[in-house]
């Protein structure tokens, strides 16, 4: 698998933009807590992983090129399903 294919689609799409254009920001969906714990997290159509708390979610944001210090947990970019950032299990 090429290194480009290993990157999340949201990141690959941003690297193909013309120079001088800002990268599109991926939409993040945090799904309801699973019975076994954790919440699935998607960036656009890519599965980013399972977050067991805010620290995990912030790491996923960083991996898709977002600055966790600039994206608040209540940012409209993040869609919370089944509870907000205070619900993890």
Which sequence spans correspond to the domains of the chain?
A: 3-18+27-80
Is the predicted pLDDT of residue 2 greater than 50, yes or no? no
Contact by Cβ (8 Å): 87, 76? no
On whether the CB atoms of residues 31 and 81 are closer than 8 A, the answer is yes
Task: Name the pTM for this structure.
Answer: 0.72
The predicted-structure confidence for 10-47, as pLDDT tens digits, reads as follows 444 443 344 455 667 779 999 999 999 999 999 988 99
Q: Which of 24, 32, 64, 37 is nearest to 48 (CA)?
A: 64
Structure tokens at 40: 């699935």
* Integer Cα distance of 31 and 11 in angstroms: 21
Interval 53-87: pLDDT, tens: 999 999 999 999 999 999 999 999 999 999 999 99
What pLDDT does 23 receive?
A: 64
């Amino acid at each position: 698998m090429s290194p480009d294919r290993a990157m999340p689609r949201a990141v690959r799409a941003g690297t193909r933009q013309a120079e001088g254009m800002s990268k599109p920001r991926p939409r993040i969906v945090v799904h309801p807590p699973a019975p076994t714990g954790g919440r699935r997290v998607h960036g656009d159509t890519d599965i980013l992983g399972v977050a067991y708390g805010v620290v995990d979610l912030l790491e996923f944001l960083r991996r898709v090129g977002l600055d966790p210090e600039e994206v608040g947990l209540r940012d409209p970019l993040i869609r919370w399903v089944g509870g907000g950032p205070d619900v993890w299990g």
